[in-house]
Amino acid sequence: MALMQTVRPRVSYSDLASMPEDGRRYEIYDGEVFVVPAPIPFHQVVVLNLEDRLREWTRQHGGIVLVSPIDIVISEYDVVQPDLVFFAPARAHLVKLDAPIRAIPDLVVEVLSPSTASTDRGKKLQLFARSGLPEYWLVDPALRSVEINVLRSGVFALAGRHATGERITSSAAPGFTCLVDALFETPLIAG
């Protein structure tokens, strides 16, 4: 007697877009839906600090930087919400302000959280490599470090791991530079 397998229908971006809004963030990997937990405040501080610095660069050079929640529709069955995406000036026209993004960014940044780190380093990294993403950063708030991965022959290669006191640069945004420490600056909160 053959074993029976439960078959789950693949979920597409069209299915996701037609679901009622429930306040959750979702990603789809090969048609399987995953709920993405909301980040903690420090995670968001890091994302916004980097966004500020990249936005300064885009004011001078062009391009566009966006933060999540934003869907990147890689295929009908692969949809992700990176923490930050950047499109260089020559490719910024691929972002339509009134439609989902269906183009691969020039740079994707993920700020690691305990609940998402394995996906960011695993499924998402592999998906972006297959999709041709040129540059993928992993920012680790716990270690206060930034890993810069660049695509070489279809796989990501570690171009550098940078800690506090060091500068980061991006091949996707020539001339962009930022101290790692600046990403982890926290606002003064009155108590």
CATH classification at residue 175: 3.90.1570.10
Range of 68's domain?
Answer: 39-183
pLDDT at 23: 87
- The verdict on residue 146 lying in a domain is yes
* Cβ proximity of 140 and 168 under 8 Å: no
- The verdict on residue 179 lying in a domain is yes
- The verdict on residue 27 lying in a domain is no
Residue type, 31: G
Sheet strand arrangement including 25-29: 32-36, 25-29, 78-80, 72-75
pLDDT at 60: 96
- The verdict on residue 168 lying in a domain is yes
- The verdict on residue 155 lying in a domain is yes
- The verdict on residue 26 lying in a domain is no
- The verdict on residue 190 lying in a domain is no
Q: How far is CA 83 from CA 34, 35, 118, 154, 169, in A?
A: 16, 15, 15, 23, 18
Number of domains, the chain: 1
- The verdict on residue 10 lying in a domain is no
Q: Is the dihedral of CA 132, 155, 168, 174 positive or negative?
A: negative
- On the 0-12 / 13-18 / 19+ scale of CB atoms within 10 A, 175 is exposed
List, run by run, the mean pLDDT of 10-residue segments along the chain (191 residues): 66 92 91 92 96 97 96 97 97 96 98 93 96 98 97 96 96 96 84 59
36 contacts: CB under 8 Å, gap ≥ 6: 24, 25, 26, 27, 81, 116
pLDDT at 3: 64
